[in-house]
Structure 1
Amino acid sequence: MTSSFFTPTRRSFLAGSAALGAAGLIGSRPASAAVDWKRFAGTTLEVNLVKSPRGETILKYISEFEALTGIKVNAEATPEQQQRQKTTIELSSGRPSFDVVHLSYHVQKRQFEKGGWLADLSGYFKDPSLTDPSLVEGDFAEAALKFAKDPDGKLRTLPFSVDYWIVYWNNELFEKKGLKYPTTFDEMVTAAEALTDKSAGTYGFVARGLKNANTPVWTSFMLGYGATPLDASGKLNTTSEGAVEAAKLYQRLMSKSAPVGVSGFNWAEAQSAFLQGKIGMWFDGVGFAPPIEDPQKSRVVGKVGYGVMPAGPKAQAAATTGDGIGVTAASKNKEAAYLFCQWVISHDMGARLLQAGAGVPFRQSILEDAKVREGVKMPPAWVDAVVASGKISQLALPVIIPVTEFRDIYGVGLTNMIGGADPAKELESATAQFEPVLARSEG
């Protein structure tokens, strides 16, 4: 791979977006007159954000919220890992320095709920003097509500930005083989193997093979077999028939149709390989798309399809991760803080995220708004994949506190499978290792 091509760092795929202000916002809506936006004028809010394109979009437009409400906002954005450490320490103390917190659902949801750190927003959400009438539960992808509500059905956060897992596919390579985009897992395997020509350096499939990073690939496949890592009672379901079949699918694709060295690939290496034009299909989050259409970084500009996850034997599901924004239980300004959270996930802010490539809003009305879509830099097929994925979204990872340990332990087993290890035995071993970790976390 030539040095002039893209060498990504975490989330750098979003960093090159055109300036939002220069392009202007397409599809803008005025703030609802039904909401008394000035009700808490004079209040000061402290806001804790993740330093990312999403956090930076919020920071860029905070002055609009201040003008709308008369509320002063002091916002701090820190890198992801540091932000997670800071929030845990401060929230654990019971005296956090912030009223509003930005959280990663697939890592922090269970921890925040167990700690009782977030305010119940259910009443505010139903209050017409506090909530815009366009903000309704039915506008969110199903996974969004699973993320945002606690086990008792109380709304603890507002869903902000989502990442659906899709299949990026090389139209040119498919056409050369006379293939169509797969609609089932079986068709995906057949296409991957037909596209693979190791002598020509062409491979049918690539995904994450590196331990920890690879676990969501397997759990995404599990959904198609009607399985999830935890069953309805909260017990590990990782040695079930669906879990084993998903692992066998992972093993076959990654050992027969993927590039040499794929066991060391995270998303960045998989993305780089796909950008070179020698990969038929790449499976990962929809947010990794912008470099594909950038001629400075990609050899496949205009040649890529964006496909919804094919159907497994028992279900078609788009694996989903995401983040949300909530009000701390300790805040003395909960209603004002709720107004801020509502503004963050508003139509205008969601449109800005989407149009800049800074994120994908959880709200289907934003994704389906024709005027908003006119301003999106990505091809229409990308937005179509986002919308379609939202309709079949399911959580990609178990909602548990030790999610990092889950990914580490099962990730080792998955990497071993690429090298030929027996999937059922690897899952049995990983489950025996992880069960006591999970039990301790819930104790």
Structure 2
Amino acid sequence: MTKDILKPTRRTLLRGATALGAAGAIGSPLVLREARAQAAFNWKRFSGTTIDVLLVKNPRSDLMQAAEKEFTELTGIKVSAEQVPEQQQRQKAVIEFASGKPSFDVSGISLHVQKRMAAKGKWFEDLTPYIKDASLTSPDFNFDDFGAGPVAYARQADGSLDTIPFFVDYWMVYYNKELFAAKGVEYPKNMDEMATVAAKLHDPAKGIAGFVSRGLKNANVPVWASLLLGQGIETTSPEGKLLTDTPEAAWAGELYKKLNRDTGPAGQVGFNWNECQTTFMQGRAAMWLDGIGFATPLEDPTKSRIVGKVGYGITPPGPKAHHAGMFADGMGISRGSQKKQAAWLYLQFMTSKAQQIAMLKAGAGAPGRASAYLDTDTISQSKFGKQYFECLLGSAKVARAALPQIVPVTEFRDVFGVALTNALGGADVAAELKKATETFAPVLVKSEQG
């Protein structure tokens, strides 16, 4: 009996030979590389992992959190995501990345504010190796589907791609079609006409402002910068020279002041986008200049009083050019994360074709993927009408970065935000911009040297 137990069977010998053969094959570097290259992608590979995600509070983050259950069912990865208001989220990101041990594995950032800062501080992983790794990247991901413009916006100066540009925000004008029709007013044909139209629609006695936009310092700068694009220039030249103390910048500042001081709601100097959104969807403003990504609640009957009455207009042309201010958000994997590969699966899922279409369908903004705009069935079934999509596509054709791509963007917004706030209080626009330019110039020089 003992002899039978010790005697190897033919099946045992074959199994042992197979195991030895496999071990020998894996020991070969060439075969090892080929085996890895041919490894099948598996969504369940990191099942049981929990990842932490830092998001900005907005409609797109709502969509991501709503999709977490599906992601967990697909991957077995649990998600602990936190939405933080924009300004606080940026501060939190800066502090935690500076510590070298951020509490999150994935973070969203505003490319128009934090792109250069992220590169300088080495916040994120370069995603290029992940995209090229067939064992980590789903064959359905198709990174080439992301538009050239958004990808170029996300790519750093050294060629690395440390965030996926999942959202591009074009600034446009939301307008109340019912208020326009009641006064027999047409959509403004140019920026100067915006002020004329706003004055006609301004009716404080009925609690209606002709125009609303961000008045809160720092948050107000993109409004002014978007108007400046109508002069065919940005706040800085391609060489990095400030163009903020110029007749063109003063013109944009005067228009900003006129629109908000003369035809804005009471207390507008303290408004950020959320106060503007609330005012507009309550029917208390005729026009609102801001990003197209804030449309979702406007067509929600549980939140809005103007469902079906919202007009979506491309930012009117200025005296010298026609541009729509462009902003963008990206998502990246923290270099300090211990769960980078699981985090990459989260990024893939949340920036997939299906999720990008969901963003477009919900009116939460312009997706970075080109294929989303080709999904005619989804568009035709959307609660947003034809004009919304025409505005989105038309804005994309004339889009131009509204904020300078510099490291101290937050300081830029702080300094010039104070100038604009002072202007709303009655100060001279040109004098305020001159003072702000003189204050900020050495900050910019120092940042470039560092």
**1:317 pairs with 2:330:** no
Aligned counterpart, 1:79? 84
Mark the CA change 1:149 to 1:296 in structure 2 (over 3 Å): closer, same or farther.
Answer: same
**1:140 pairs with 2:147:** yes
SS of match in other structure, 1:205: coil
Q: Do 1:105 and 1:321's aligned partners in 2 also have CA atoms closer than 8 Å?
A: yes
Aligned counterpart, 1:235? 241
SS of match in other structure, 1:237: coil
Question: Which of residues 41, 48, 68 in structure 1 aligns to 2:45?
Answer: 41
Question: Which of residues 285, 300, 305 in structure 1 aligns to 2:306?
Answer: 300
For residues 200-233 of structure 1, give each alpha carbon's deviation from its aligned partner in whole angstroms, at most 9, with x where no partner exists.
6654322222322211110111122122122212
Mark the CA change 1:234 to 1:373 in structure 2 (over 3 Å): closer, same or farther.
Answer: same
**1:50 pairs with 2:55:** yes
**1:157 pairs with 2:124:** no
CA distance in 2, matches of 1:277, 1:48: 35
Mark the CA change 1:355 to 1:234 in structure 2 (over 3 Å): closer, same or farther.
Answer: same
Q: Do 1:35 and 1:131's aligned partners in 2 also have CA atoms closer than 8 Å?
A: no
SS of match in other structure, 1:320: strand
CA positional deviation for 1:62: 4.1
CA positional deviation for 1:336: 5.5
CA positional deviation for 1:273: 3.6
**Aligned positions of 1:112-131 closer than 5 A:** 112-125=118-131, 130=137
CA distance in 1, matches of 2:89, 2:205: 46
Mark the CA change 1:290 to 1:72 in structure 2 (over 3 Å): closer, same or farther.
Answer: closer
CA distance in 1, matches of 2:168, 2:39: 26
SS of match in other structure, 1:204: coil
Greater helix fraction, Structure 1 or Structure 2:
2
RMSD of the alignment, in Å?
A: 3.3
**1:214 pairs with 2:215:** no
**Aligned positions of 1:20-419 closer than 5 A:** 36-38=40-42, 41-42=45-46, 44=49, 46-50=51-55, 52=57, 53-62=59-68, 64-65=70-71, 68=74, 72-80=77-85, 84-85=90-91, 87-96=93-102, 98-125=104-131, 130=137, 132=139, 135-137=142-144, 139-140=146-147, 142=149, 144-196=150-202, 202-330=208-336, 337-357=343-363, 360-419=366-425
Mark the CA change 1:132 to 1:237 in structure 2 (over 3 Å): closer, same or farther.
Answer: farther
CA distance in 2, matches of 1:297, 1:340: 30
Counterpart of 2:240, as a letter, is G
**Stretch of structure 1 that moved more, 204-213 or 149-158:** 204-213
Q: Do 1:110 and 1:399's aligned partners in 2 also have CA atoms closer than 8 Å?
A: yes
Q: Do 1:47 and 1:98's aligned partners in 2 also have CA atoms closer than 8 Å?
A: yes
**1:438 pairs with 2:414:** no
Counterpart of 2:165, as a letter, is P
Mark the CA change 1:332 to 1:114 in structure 2 (over 3 Å): closer, same or farther.
Answer: same
CA distance in 1, matches of 2:351, 2:204: 46
Q: Do 1:292 and 1:300's aligned partners in 2 also have CA atoms closer than 8 Å?
A: yes
**Stretch of structure 1 that moved more, 424-433 or 325-334:** 325-334
Q: Do 1:141 and 1:363's aligned partners in 2 also have CA atoms closer than 8 Å?
A: no
**Higher alpha-carbon Rg:** 2
Poorly superposed stretches of 4+, deviation over 6 Å: none
SS of match in other structure, 1:411: helix
CA distance in 2, matches of 1:280, 1:387: 23
Mark the CA change 1:415 to 1:51 in structure 2 (over 3 Å): closer, same or farther.
Answer: closer
Counterpart of 1:245, as a letter, is W
CA distance in 2, matches of 1:173, 1:373: 27
Counterpart of 1:150, as a letter, is Q
SS of match in other structure, 1:108: helix
CA positional deviation for 1:433: 1.7
Mark the CA change 1:178 to 1:114 in structure 2 (over 3 Å): closer, same or farther.
Answer: same
Counterpart of 1:361, as a letter, is P
For residues 112-170 of structure 1, give each alpha carbon's deviation from its aligned partner in whole angstroms, at most 9, with x where no partner exists.
1101222222354466773647735564272x234311123322210123332211112
Q: Do 1:148 and 1:324's aligned partners in 2 also have CA atoms closer than 8 Å?
A: yes
SS of match in other structure, 2:180: helix
**Stretch of structure 1 that moved more, 304-313 or 357-366:** 357-366
Q: Do 2:46 and 2:342's aligned partners in 1 also have CA atoms closer than 8 Å?
A: no
For residues 24-75 of structure 1, give each alpha carbon's deviation from its aligned partner in whole angstroms, at most 9, with x where no partner exists.
xxxxxxxxxx99431882474734231645445434434544565x574554
How many residues were matched structurally?
A: 408
Q: Do 2:279 and 2:285's aligned partners in 1 also have CA atoms closer than 8 Å?
A: yes
SS of match in other structure, 2:210: strand
For residues 291-342 of structure 1, give each alpha carbon's deviation from its aligned partner in whole angstroms, at most 9, with x where no partner exists.
4334454443322211111112333222233321113345566565444322
Q: Do 1:141 and 1:362's aligned partners in 2 also have CA atoms closer than 8 Å?
A: no
Unaligned runs of 5+ in 1: 1-33
Q: Which of the pair has the greater relative contact order for Cα pairs under 8 Å at 6+ separation?
A: 1
Unaligned runs of 5+ in 2: 1-37
Aligned counterpart, 2:30? none
